[in-house]
Amino acid sequence: MAFTITETTFGTLPALAIDGDGDGDCDGDARLLLTLRGATVISWNVDGIELIDGYADELEFADQAGMRSAMMIPFSNRIPAGRYTFDGTDYDLAEGNPERAGETVLHGLLRLCDFSIVDVVAGEASAIVHLACRALRPGAFGGYPFSVDVTVDLSVTANSIEFVIAGTNVGDSPAPYGSGWHPYFTIGAAPIAELVVAIPAETRVVVDSDLIPLEGSAARKPVADGLDFRAPRVLGEQVLDVAFADLIVGPDGLAHTTMTHPASGRTIDAWQARGLMHVFTSDTVTRPRQSFAMESVEFMTNAFGRPDQSATIRLEPGERRSFRFGATTTLEPR
């Protein structure tokens, strides 16, 4: 397989097209489209099967409908009322934007920020893209007066994608920082009710009616009551919007959450080096229940607002922290 990387557009948005052409005998084709705005995956296609339900067009991207494939930086999921406390100081993410005062803030700050291309390498076995963003600076975002340089490294092979998101504190004071990814996976047009799902987790995160985790130790409970996916089982009509914690790692040191379509034999394995796995059956977004979100995240929702997470989100001056995750697809012989 030979890979190429081409600068292109998604509507008017600058993008990169990564193409891996098989030899026509034993190798299939791999395709990935990534916008530089937000480092957002629009499409991932292997052997002619679409595996990411990304934005349908630029208008849907502009609306951030479903926040598809969002790189969640410097926090993932929700901050209630947009307010948090860090190192004894209160912050409001609506600062300078009073019409949004009191709103829950979702999925980070960089979704509509442009990343720059640092380097690209296309080879026989893989394509590698290095991106950077220096938008996190005092004054750029209300309520986040910290300086963090962000890089996103993407590697694409014949049947896999791998990300490393890294944040480096280039400021003079500690900064709260974390990351995650919000992809909607699909196996072509396969109904998600037919999927067999496995989530290697000992506990789940308990939330209130606004999907904010409960305080302290009450936020975690052993998996039970229909939420134990340690043994693979059919998803059916079950509705899920829940994070799983205490992930069980395999011999490779990674935690593997999988969705399999038995009729086709296709599996997607969403793996991560650490953190939590948030899954969502996409019931409340455009194209409901057409895809299954498997979101690798560093930290629990509202980590910025939790005293029990203050040490883990803390990025000291000069410190760099990275988060590695990805997905692999396989097709079982039939």
- Rounded-to-integer distance, Cα 22 and Cα 28, Å: 5
| Residue 33, C-beta contacts closer than 8 angstroms, at least 6 positions apart | 8, 10, 15, 16, 17, 18, 41, 42, 43, 54
**What pTM value is reported for the model?**
0.95
Query: Could you tell me what percent of the chain has a pLDDT over 90?
Result: 93
pLDDT over 90 at 3, yes or no? yes
Residues in the chain: 334
Residue 200 tokens read as 């290697």
What pLDDT was estimated at residue 23?
A: 63
What pLDDT was estimated at residue 98?
A: 79
- Rounded-to-integer distance, Cα 280 and Cα 242, Å: 7
What pLDDT was estimated at residue 27?
A: 56
| Residue 251, C-beta contacts closer than 8 angstroms, at least 6 positions apart | none
Domains observed in the chain:
2-331 (2.70.98.10)
Residue 120 confidence class, pLDDT cut points 50, 70, 90: very high
Measured CA to CA in angstroms, residue 80 lies from 75, 83, 275 at distances of: 12, 7, 21
Could you report the per-residue pLDDT of 15-64, keeping only the tens digit for each? 999 999 876 444 579 999 999 999 999 999 999 999 999 999 999 999 99
SS3 assignment, position 20: strand
- The predicted model gives 248-270 an average pLDDT of 97
- The predicted model gives 109-133 an average pLDDT of 97
SS3 assignment, position 297: strand
- Rounded-to-integer distance, Cα 333 and Cα 246, Å: 33
Residue 330 pairs with which residues in a beta bridge? 267
Residue 102 confidence class, pLDDT cut points 50, 70, 90: confident
- Rounded-to-integer distance, Cα 317 and Cα 212, Å: 29
Residue 326 tokens read as 């990805």
Place of tokens 């097209």: 17
Nearest residue to 283 via CA among 240, 242, 243: 240
